[in-house]
Each structure stands twice: as structure tokens, then as C-alpha cells.
Structure 1
Amino acid sequence: MSSRSAPVPVTGATGRQGGATARAPLAAGVPVHALVRDPANAQAQTIEAFGADLVNRRSPRPRFRHAGLDRRTREQMEPYHSAESRIQDRLREAGFPHWTLLKPGFFTDEFLPSTRFCFPCGIEGGPVSVVKPGTTMSLAAVEDIGTATAAAISAPERFDKAELELASDYLSMTRIAEILTRVPGVPLSAPGTTETEAIAAGMPPMGAAHELYDVVGQPARPQYARDLGLPLTGFEEWARRRMGSAA
């Protein structure tokens, strides 16, 4: 079996990023083994319907030609970043013939009212965040993460040892609010609240770590992906697809 047709394992395949990471290779004809906790739940069944083979964590471990890493759920950001750094170091040192690291920016899906992350009180309640209005954010659409994954799998030599800081768009919170005002049709303004105010308004506690965006920024830029020939989903395009009827 060639490396192109060997199965690709995807952890967290029932999540947003993991689901996109599984669907893109499947669409390209690459078999996927999706590691799931409960093969009977709706998200797992959806991935299976796309053509993935579900692997329960209690099942015998299948043999793979490629390895993948997915987003980790985290309660505290410092341990998360430390663990992430160690995982990346292990990948670099593991001796794989080819490897690629994708490092996406802030997920655009967090702006969906259904996630209750940026809009904990619904879109009419306005966005809630500690990020200042003028701070520019690296935004990553999950479908672009999937596209980049499929590209790296199909052309491992071209993406060998690439560490892609992936951004679909790069916009200030003010510009994001302008787009979301236009698309769903609900007047919005960039929040820029304090941590105390944001948590009181319903922001998840982990959102407090985004104050770092005001201080050190985010490294991902759309041009990095374009230089590798990867198509991107701009934030306004994403918003029209996903939030056009959010109001």
C-alpha cells in the first residue's frame, strides 16, 4: 500500500477541528480511522457517514502510516501550552520520514452564537471578549485546517518539516464586529471589556488568556498558507456561509 492510500488516524474526530481534519482527507480519497470515545453518538455517526472507520479507544490499536495531532481540551492555558510544546518537540524528534505541524490561530467557529464563546448571551447580546478593539487577530477557519491537512498528506515531501502558523484571515476586533454587523444584520461593536466584566457577561474563564493577544499578538498570517499554495476562507466569506441567518 502506498503512503498516499494508507489510513490516517484522527483524534478528536467528533470535534470541530477534528471533524474537518477527518473530512478533508476522506474527500480526497484517503482512508481515515477516527478515534472516538463513543462510536454510537451523533457526531461519531456523522463522521462514519462521511466514510471514516471508527476506532473506539478500547479497540486494538490499528497500524498507521501517518500520525496526526488534534486540538486538546484545556482547563488552564499554561499547562496546555507546556504540554503542546512537549508534544511538538516529540514530533520533531520522533524520526518520522516526513512530518508537518499545523498551528492554527483563533477558530472562527468560536464566533458562532451556538458555541456560547464569543456570544455567550446570543448574537443580540453582543460579543464578549477581553481582546481590545484595535488588536488584530489571526483567524483560522476549521475547513482550512482540514484542507491543509489533506494537502500535507497528499504531498508529504513538499510539506516536510513545515511548521505552518495557519491563519485564514488577519483582522482587528473592530473589523470583525463590522463584518458581523453586516452579515447577520445585527448592530455590533468590538467589546474590549475587562476580565471581570467579560466573565460576568458569560465569557468562559479560559477566554481570559486572550489578553495575551493584546500584549504579544499571534504569529499566524494568511500569506504563510498562500505561499504553500493553500486556499483560504476569508472571515467575511466564512461569516456569510455560517452566520448569514444567525440573527
Structure 2
Amino acid sequence: MLTVAVTGATGAQGGATARALLSSGHQVRALTRDPNSPAADALRGLGADVRHADFDDRASLDTALAGADSLFAVTTPFEADTATEIRQGKALVDAASTARLGHVVLTSAAHADRDTGIPHYDSKRLIEQHLRATGLPWTVIAPAAFMDNYASGWTLDGLRDGTFAWPMPTDRPLTLIPADDIGAFAALALQRRDEFTGRRIDIASDERTPGQIAEILAAAIGRPIAHQEVPLSYVRTWSADLAAMFEYFTTSGLDVDVARLHRDYPEVGWHSFTDWTVGQDWSALLAPAPARH
């Protein structure tokens, strides 16, 4: 049985990893800035040891990691910026090095080890490089585009109007993965340390075009959905970072060998995009907004 510290435990990837480890009988230290949040309470109810940890408070990281076997590390630029992500990611890696952990699994992004020109991919590449330089046993898992984003934000707003608004051509394939599969793969890597140490693996569960995604969403939701290509110029007015990402998706593409992953790691229980849509509660998500008086 492992004792694994999980950062971002109340978020999508960390939460999925924590649940996968707990279901396999391992001890999970769920690290979060807010141990009293509903998400933290839910993990505590599943048997996790919820502990306070803040990337900007090195002492809290040292305390949270002391005595753990392994670490699942996730960083984000979207709570602040990429400079903050780099600083916090390096601080987490340094704390893991001080704690002399036996294995660190870092979740990054597919193709982040390439010259993509995407700011939040470049920040992850720097954190990957810092991890490798420590000499710690490491694994980098690098997820493709998140399926979970199709049930939130501007995508959800469009679906309410019968439109799948996405900044890519209708026929351009994109590799996809849900958070649950990221967590299952991370748990696999943590449990099979000898097999995965020193490896960087791009991961995805399915590959679909925006046109196919619209059709699958329509079938799951039970109403007509049509893909509408959002101009990159519009995305750029909101985020140059995200515009660069979608431009890369369209030009270079986010290729991942999905068939090989399914063949080599069937225990992950990979979910197709259809599987994922069927598992969502679209009736609640797409309910009409209450009238304002």
C-alpha cells in the first residue's frame, strides 16, 4: 500500500487521481488550500487524509509531503498566469526533492515537450525540465484536450442555443480525454513505479472532429446541435494563450496514439467521447435559466 500526496485534490485531475488510488486501497493525502471545502469533505468521506498545502507556502508543502511515498503533481496557469505556474511548480518539485520522495508523477499537456508556442504549454515544459533535473524518480503524463471542457464555459452557453461553438474547422481531428481517465492512468503509473519511471507519455482516450463531437453531443442531449467555427480572432480578444492553443490544434494537430494506449493499458478503462457524454447529466446542465423579475 502506497501513501500518495495528491496536489489539486479538489480539482478535476487531482480529484480523479485521488479517487482512483483510494479505490485501489492506497492511502491518499489530499492536498488543498481549503481543507474545509465541500470537495475536500467529499474526499475525506472516501477515506482521504485531507491536509492544507499552498504552493506559495513552502513550509506547508514540506509538512504535507513528509513521510509520503509518492506525489501526484498538477499545476495551472489559469488561477493567475504562467509565471506563477512556473514558480509554484518549481517550488512543489523542490519540496518533493527535499522530502526525497520515491516517485513523482507530474501531469503536463500533450505536446508540451515540443516547440508549440503555446504559453501554458511552455510553462509546463519548464516544470518538466526542473523535475528531471532534480534526480528524483519521475514520470510525466501529458493529457490531450479535456472532454470535461465541453460541459462548461462558452461551450455550454452555445449548447443551450443548439450550437457547438469551437475554434476549429469541422473536419479537423482532435484527441480527447476525460479527467477520470487521467486519474486512472496516473494511479496506474504510481502503482507501477518501476515500469513508468523516467517516461513521458502523451495520453488520450479518443479522437474526434468538431463535426463528430457535435453529432455525439446532439445524441446525448436529445436536441439538434450544429458545429460553428469560432474565429481565432475572437478567441484572441479573450486570451492570446488559448488562441495560440487552438491555432496549434488546427495547424500541427494534437496527435496521440490512442489505439496503442488502449492496447497497452486496457486496465485504465478508457472512455470514448460517446461514453463520456452518456455519463453527463445534460438535463440539469442545459435547464433554462430562471426568469428574472
Q: Tell me which interval the TM-score lies in, with the shorter structure as reference length.
A: 0.7 to 0.9
Counterpart residue identity of residue 275, structure 2:
E
**1:214 matched residue in structure 2:** 250
Distance 2:47 2:256 in 1: 32
Counterpart residue identity of residue 183, structure 1:
A
**2:21 matched residue in structure 1:** 25
Greater percentage in helix: 2
Distance 1:150 1:61 in 2: 19
Instruction: Give RMSD over aligned pairs.
Output: 2.3
- How far residue 67 of structure 1 moved from its aligned partner, in angstroms, is 2.3
Distance 2:46 2:180 in 1: 15
**1:56 matched residue in structure 2:** 52
SS in 1 for 2:157: coil
Preserved CA contact (<8 Å) 2:164 2:228: yes
Tell me the number of residue pairs that the alignment of Structure 1 and Structure 2 aligns.
Answer: 238
**1:109 matched residue in structure 2:** 148
Distance 1:79 1:205 in 2: 9
Asked if 1:70 is matched to 2:108, the reply is no
Preserved CA contact (<8 Å) 2:170 2:227: yes
Preserved CA contact (<8 Å) 1:131 1:173: yes
Counterpart residue identity of residue 140, structure 2:
L
Preserved CA contact (<8 Å) 2:169 2:229: yes
Moved over 6 A (4+): none
Cα 1:119–1:198 shift into 2, 3 Å: farther
Distance 1:174 1:105 in 2: 18
Distance 1:137 1:243 in 2: 24
1:74-131 deviation per Cα after TM superposition (whole angstroms, max 9, x unaligned): 356844222211111122233234x32110011111011xx22422355335222211
Cα 1:121–1:175 shift into 2, 3 Å: closer
- How far residue 180 of structure 1 moved from its aligned partner, in angstroms, is 0.6
228, 240, 246: which one aligns with 2:278: 240
Preserved CA contact (<8 Å) 1:144 1:233: yes
Q: Give me the TM-score of the superposition, normalised by structure 2.
A: 0.74
SS in 1 for 2:195: coil
1:25-48 deviation per Cα after TM superposition (whole angstroms, max 9, x unaligned): 111011111111111111111122
SS in 2 for 1:68: strand
Preserved CA contact (<8 Å) 1:116 1:122: no
Preserved CA contact (<8 Å) 2:14 2:72: no
Gaps of 5+ in 2: 83-116, 287-293
Alignment identity in percent?
26
Preserved CA contact (<8 Å) 1:144 1:168: yes
- How far residue 221 of structure 1 moved from its aligned partner, in angstroms, is 3.1
- How far residue 210 of structure 1 moved from its aligned partner, in angstroms, is 1.5
Q: Give me the TM-score of the superposition, normalised by structure 1.
A: 0.86
197, 208, 225: which one aligns with 1:188: 225
SS in 2 for 1:109: helix
Higher relative contact order (CA 8 A, sep 6+): 1
SS in 2 for 1:32: strand
Distance 2:221 2:236 in 1: 25
Cα 1:199–1:184 shift into 2, 3 Å: farther
